[in-house]
Amino acid sequence: MEIEQTPTSASDTNSTCEYMDAEGEPDNETELSAGDLYQEAEHAETEQLGHSIISELRDELGTHASKCDGALSPNASAATGQSKDLAASVESLALSTSTSAKTEDRGSANELDDDQYDYQHDSVWRGQKKHIFILSEAGKPIYSLHGNEDKLVTLFGVIQALVSFVQMGQDAITSIHAGGIKFAFMQRNSLILVAATRTNMSIQQLQLQLSDVYYQILSTLTYSHMSKIFEKRKNFDLRRLLSGSERLIYNLLANDSSNARVSNNIFTFLTNSIRVFPLPMVVRSTIVNTIQSNCSKIKNLVFAVLIANNKLIALVRMKKYSIHPADLRLIFNLIECTESFKSSENWTPICLPKFDMNGYLHAHVSYLSDDCQACLLLMSVDRDAFHTLSEAKERITEKLRKSQCLKAINDELEQPFNVKLYQQVLGVPELRHFLYKPRATAQLLCPMLRHPYKSLPEFERLEAIYCSLLHRIHNSSRPLKLIYEVKEREVVLAWVTATYELYAVFESIVDKATVIKYVDKLIKWIEKEYDVYFIRNHATF
């Protein structure tokens, strides 16, 4: 009961402070939103267990997707006409790679004081391989991957005009192809998200990326909170509520070669999956049992997630509930972006949009110990559960230390890559890289990047190969089962069976028979070692 009092009196207190707003907007709006946020948290706690909206959300996604391709046709000519303007204004997103990376304090930095600054004549900005823009339906800038979004109002105006023009015809703009650039559009809940790229990413892949960003925003604000804000004020400046979270959005988007990053992370996004931390089966099941036995009595605990090095060690969940890979990626992103989790115990609200887009879970986040850099998240619907979960975490760490599990995790962490996988890959020098994803789980196995893909230009080519393979395999109008292609510099194979998807890249000198032989060998090995590299079922409390 006493909790009930708190929000009202808290917001009362606030509404007396008329100065709070630095931007000169009406202050009670701020207060209201804070109040709403709180009530939502409350609301979520009561509702969260009641019903899951995951399926509902899937339906929504489904209809969107089916609308996509045809959607443009009635207005195609008109849209393309306008697209020329847009294309002209973003004219040469030149192919040249740019090394300029956006820094953390972009907004506050003294980088561009000139109001007249024009990005359209800035070769660095135009040279970026990928742009992402987010604005509200009212045209207010929210985010730009490169450059200060405030200086892009002209471009945002064009985007808004395009979107609303197509909307007038009871339609929705999906994409524009112009001047060698693909523009993907997405409209969700008063937000307009646009991706522009010259890379090989397909429109669907761009849209997947846009939806990841959208979920990142929901994860910070929740769907209902954001809806309420825009209902109240169409032209609300959402940046005020997202402040501090820009780095999460940036990290989510900057995981590919367009930001000069050479890592396997992009492939988890492209395959809509996560990666699993390799561990002997007995170690993993000891870890799971330890988490179960120390958490089973804690009410309201929904998920326990153990992560190391951006890979999943274990996931224990409340009966009947599961985490979608998109939600898991948000969790990985949060951990990856937050160094400060390492130095303390933390308590953070997080919305997992695929689980419930209207409410927050409260996560106890901490690393197991100073000498074991695995991060444990205990997620509860109870916002006052910190100390209970903190004690549980202590017990878990202690038990894991005794059972040598911490050591097992450390042994694996200390290796630059998984030894057995490395040996396996070394055994087939012609196999340069592969992606293996069992169809039963959203988990991905891929070997470390090695020569020649350690250099950025070569990695870009690898990324382009996978983008194109994945796009053709998953093409909704004409899905393929098997692709074998001899390219100038490599031989590539994509193969979908009832149990797995495999994408492999070979030296250009191998012939078909050899490829088949090697793939066969690889598959047999993976099946034998399956439980080291994949988690079949996530345990429940």
Partner 1 sequence: MSTRRTGSGPTLNFKAVLLGEGCVGKTSLVLRYMEDKFNTQHLSTLQASFVTKKVSLPDERRAQLNIWDTAGQERFHALGPIYYRGSDGALLVYDITDQDSFQKVKSWVRELKQMRGSEISLIIVGNKTDLEEQRAVSYETALRYAQTVGAQYVETSAKENEGVSELFELLTQLMLEHHGNKLQHDASSLRLQSGSSGIGISEDIDTDADNAGAAAEQRSCCGI
Closer by beta carbon to partner 1, 12 or else 60: 12
Residues whose CB falls within 8 Å of the CB of residue 184, separated by 6 or more in sequence, listed in order: 174, 175, 194, 195, 196, 203, 206, 207, 210
**Pairing, β 539-540 against β 311-317:** parallel
Q: Give the residues across from 315 on adjacent strands.
A: 305
Contact with partner 1 (CB under 8 A) among 277, 332, 347, 506: 347
Read off φ and ψ for residue 144, nearest 5 degrees.
Answer: -135, 135
414 is a contact residue toward partner 1 (CB under 8 A) = no
Of 9 and 170, CB closest to partner 1: 9
Angle CA 428–432–436, to nearest 5: 90
20 makes contact with partner 1 (CB under 8 A): yes
Binding mask 248-287 for partner 1 (x = CB under 8 A): x---------------------------------------
Any contact of residue 105 with partner 1 (CB under 8 A)?
Answer: yes
373 makes contact with partner 1 (CB under 8 A): no
Instruction: Say whether residue 46 binds partner 1 (CB under 8 A).
Output: no
Q: According to CB under 8 A, which one of 47, 122, 137, 345 is a site residue for partner 1?
A: 345
Residue 397 C-beta: closest distance to partner 1, Å: 16
Helix (H, G, I), strand (E, B) or coil at 162: helix
- As a whole number of angstroms, the distance between CA 424 and CA 419 comes to 9
Least distance from partner 1 to the Cβ atom of residue 363, Å? 8
Position 365 contacts partner 1 (CB under 8 A)? yes
Give yes or no for residue 245 binding partner 1 (CB under 8 A): yes
Q: Which stretch binds partner 1 (CB under 8 A): 139-147, 339-347, 416-424, 435-443?
A: 339-347
Closest separation in Å from C-beta 133 to partner 1: 22
Does position 9 bind partner 1 by CB under 8 A?
A: yes
Choice between 32 and 153, CB closer to partner 1: 32
8 Å CB contact between 26 and 236: no
Does 110 participate in binding partner 1 (rule CB under 8 A)? no
Specify the residue, 3 or 419, whose C-beta has the smaller distance to partner 1: 3
CA distance 522 to 424: 8
Using the rule CB under 8 A, which residue among 85, 118, 384, 411 binds partner 1? 384
Compute the distance between CA of residue 310 and CA of residue 113 in angstroms, rounded to an integer.
38
Number of residues binding to partner 1, judged by CB under 8 A: 49
Which lies closer to partner 1 via its Cβ, residue 139 or residue 349?
349
Q: Is 320 left (phi over 0), alpha (psi -120 to 50) or beta?
A: left
Binding piece for partner 1, criterion CB under 8 A, among 124-132, 199-207, 240-248, 492-500: 240-248
Identify the residue among 37, 145, 428, 469 touching partner 1 (CB under 8 A).
Answer: 37
Half-sphere exposure of 214 (CA within 13 A, CB side): 23
> Are 409 and 372 spatial neighbours (Cβ–Cβ below 8 Å)?
yes
Question: Quick one: 422 exposed, middle or buried, by C-beta within 10 A (0-12, 13-18, 19+)?
Answer: middle
Shortest Cβ 210–partner 1 spacing (Å)? 22
Among 64, 240, 471, 474, binds partner 1 (CB under 8 A): 240
Question: Considering the rule CB under 8 A, would residue 220 count as an interface residue with partner 1?
Answer: yes
The single residue listed with the structure tokens 């901490």 is 366
Which one of residues 56, 60, 85, 104 is an interface residue with partner 1 (CB under 8 A)? Answer: 104
Contact 180, 199 (CB under 8 A): no
* Per-residue contact string for residues 184-213; x = within reach of partner 1 by CB under 8 A: ------------------------------
Work out how close the CB of 370 gets to partner 1 at its nearest, in angstroms, rounded to a whole number: 12
Nearer to partner 1, 17 or 426 (CB): 17
Say if residues 145 and 130 touch (Cβ distance below 8 Å): yes
Rounded to an integer, what distance in angstroms lies between the CA atom of residue 143 and that of residue 19? 26
Of residues 331, 401, 329, the one with CA closest to residue 364: 331
Beta bridge partners of 183: 176, 196
DSSP class per residue in 374-403: EEEEEEES-TT-HHHHHHHHHHHHHHHHHT
How many whole angstroms separate alpha carbon 517 and alpha carbon 524?
11
Q: Which is nearer to partner 1, 136 or 220 (CB)?
A: 220
252/333 Cα distance (integer angstroms): 6
Give the footprint of partner 1 on this chain (CB under 8 A). Answer: 2-3, 6-7, 9-14, 16-17, 19-20, 22, 30, 33-35, 37-38, 41, 104-105, 220-221, 240-241, 243-245, 247-248, 338-341, 343-349, 365, 383-384, 386, 390
